[in-house]
Amino acid sequence: MTLLIKGVRIIGGNRTYHEPADLFVSGDKISAIGNFPNKKADDVIDGQGAYLAPGFIDAQTSSDRYLALLTDPDQGDFLKQGVTTIVGGYGGVSLVPLLDGDLSSLVPWASTHGVNVDWRTVKEFFNHLDRRPLGVNFATFVGHLTVRQTLIGDAPRELTLNERRVFQHVLDRALREGALGLSVGPAAFSRDELSATELKPLIACLKEHHGIYAPAVTGSGSELKGSLVEISQLLKKSGVPALVTYALRLGEAGLPAGQAGDYTDFITVLESLSFDSPVSFDVSLTPGVVLPLFKYLPEWAQVGSVADMLERLDVSLTRNRIFEELPVVDPDQLHIIGAAHYGPSGVTLRDVMQLYGIHKPTEALVKLMEATKLQAVTFLSVREDEGDLRAALRHPRAFVSSRGTSTGGGRRLPLSRPAELDVFPQLLSRTEGSHFLPLKETIEKVTRHPARFFGFERRGEVREGYFADLVGFKGSDVQFVVVNGRVAVRGGELQGVRAGRALRRSQSRRE
């Protein structure tokens, strides 16, 4: 199969093209770039002067933890933004490895009822994706919580020596089979659930296989600094790169200004510390955050299984304490974008208040928790600080992410996707208005830089011999998208093509 893309302004390659050029794709790779007025191809796209860039890489997504990766294999919400590769397995939660073939670690985020799991290892999961391909490429971290819960359940104790050895063996195998590295959730730091004794052998394993450490941290001030100091000490002299995710927790007043927290404070603390290895972080432009409903509970009430959390809502003593500590959110800004055991998605907490005749948002929040049995996904709109986001995005170690999920096709938990999750058109729009970065730097930040950091060989650049993951755009409008040589979006419309692949981490990862 051959594809000819004509009359495009190429950006994000190893050569600069000042005039519109043509690009020829043979199979899944770019075979030639130049001007080919008489070249024949099986398919032709007339770029009409659009920019042609490498397909965008969303550095952090949650399609896996919400199981949308399985219920919505097209992943069209990402494709229509020009995203050809998504990365998952963050926050300590992943779809692999599943030592006993059980998805229980994902229950707080999604209903696992009826999900067919025919894999346990990373290799088996990637084979699953080879047989049932996605619309986009997918790469994953190993979730620390996912493996730990399989070993000891929800027991709040340190792993024994034998359990640590088993964990190290599991991680070693996962890395050899192509996992990117190890992710750890923020609760592990805030509740002191992790010790250096448990993590150091895992860091040594990452060092051996050139893996990445991906911790998530929360808080501010001394709490934030304490978490980052722990990370710097853990990685000392290891050479293991880190990708840190930062988010402020919900407090009594809900989320403060800023989508994911005060990046200025985070960067200041980060740069005040000494790291022996490269440390990057992700920035989301989404003016809000996708949260499973249980995340609105106080931290102490989030411990254990969903059944444990619901029981705390049943017992009067803990129920009263939960009421006192629930965040105060604007009921017009909290949107239910998907819920089990409940009516249509797309409603707000204000609608819930009116439905049940409830006057207080906190009471409506608890009613929603009970009605959905905590099986709901929300989108909380919050104010964003434009200057804070601009400064964070300009940082040389920042990657762009949506932290979002696709929402189409999910019959088990159908989601009503808010337009605010379309991060990449927003980025192009801001770039076009010169609010953030020059276009070339913006494109490299969402293509070449993450491709090299994650170890995606022959991706992230428009270059002969590279995989044909491509996006054509004018302004902030995505015109066409090509995934591994196949046209997945044409004229802004999905083509029903699933050409994505499971991306294995390359041990020759370059910075």
pLDDT of residue 331: 92
Residue with more model confidence, 202 or 253: 202
The fraction of the chain above a pLDDT of 90, given in percent, is: 54
For residue 245, pLDDT over 80 is answered with: yes
Q: What is the mean pLDDT of residues 392-404?
A: 89
Residue of 282, 297, 280, 308 whose CA lies nearest to 453: 280
Please name the amino acid found at residue 507.
Q
Which 3-state string (H, E, C) describes 367-395?
A: HHHHHHCCCEEEEEECCCCHHHHHHHHHC
Q: What is the CA radius of gyration of the chain?
A: 22
Confidence of residue 410 (pLDDT cuts 50, 70, 90): very low
Q: Residue 188 region, left (φ>0) first, then alpha (ψ -120 to 50), else beta?
A: alpha
Tens digit of each residue's pLDDT (9 = 90 or more) over 204-223 = 999 999 999 999 988 778 88
Q: What is the pLDDT of residue 343?
A: 59
- Which is more confidently placed, 222 or 352? 352
Q: Model confidence over 373-392: pLDDT tens digits?
A: 888 888 888 766 777 778 88
Q: Is the pLDDT confidence value at 345 over 80?
A: no
Classified as helix, coil or strand, 103 is: coil
Inform me whether the pLDDT recorded for 416 exceeds 70: no
Average pLDDT over residues 349-356: 93
Q: Please state, in angstroms and rounded to a whole number, the distance separating the CA atoms of residues 329 and 422.
A: 23
The residue written with tokens 């696992």 in the block is 112
For residue 111, CA distances in Å to 57, 154, 293, 376, 377 come to 27, 19, 13, 9, 11
Q: Is 495 left (phi over 0), alpha (psi -120 to 50) or beta?
A: alpha
Tallying the residues shown for the chain, one arrives at: 511
Across 104-125, average pLDDT = 85
The arithmetic mean of pLDDT across residues 61-83, rounded, is 93
Highest mean pLDDT pick, 53-67, 335-349, 386-400 = 53-67
For 215, phi and psi rounded to 5 degrees? -90, 150
Domains belonging to the chain, first-starting first, are 2-53+461-494 (2.30.40.10), 55-287+387-451 (3.20.20.140), 294-379 (no CATH)
Q: How far is 470 from 24, CA to CA, in rounded Å?
A: 12
Q: What's the rounded mean pLDDT across residues 176-183?
A: 97
User: Cis link prior to 292 (omega < 30° from 0)?
Assistant: no
- Residues 426-476: pLDDT tens digits? 889 888 666 667 889 999 999 999 999 999 999 999 999 999 999 999 999
> Is the model's pLDDT at 312 over the cut of 90?
yes
| Residue that the structure tokens 């990657």 belong to | 399
Residue 406 to residues 147, 168, 307, 308, Cα–Cα distance (Å): 25, 32, 27, 29
Q: Tell me, what amino acid is at 344? A: P
Residue 154 to residue 435: CA distance in whole angstroms:
46
- pLDDT greater at residue 21 or residue 237: 21
- Please choose, from the candidates 10, 1, 6, the residue with its C-alpha nearest in 3D space to the C-alpha of residue 464: 10
Find the mean pLDDT for residues 480-492: 97
Q: Would you say residue 496 has pLDDT above 90?
A: yes
Amino acid identity of residue 452, one-letter, is R
Determine the pLDDT at residue 227: 87
C-alpha–C-alpha distance, residues 27 and 232, integer Å: 44
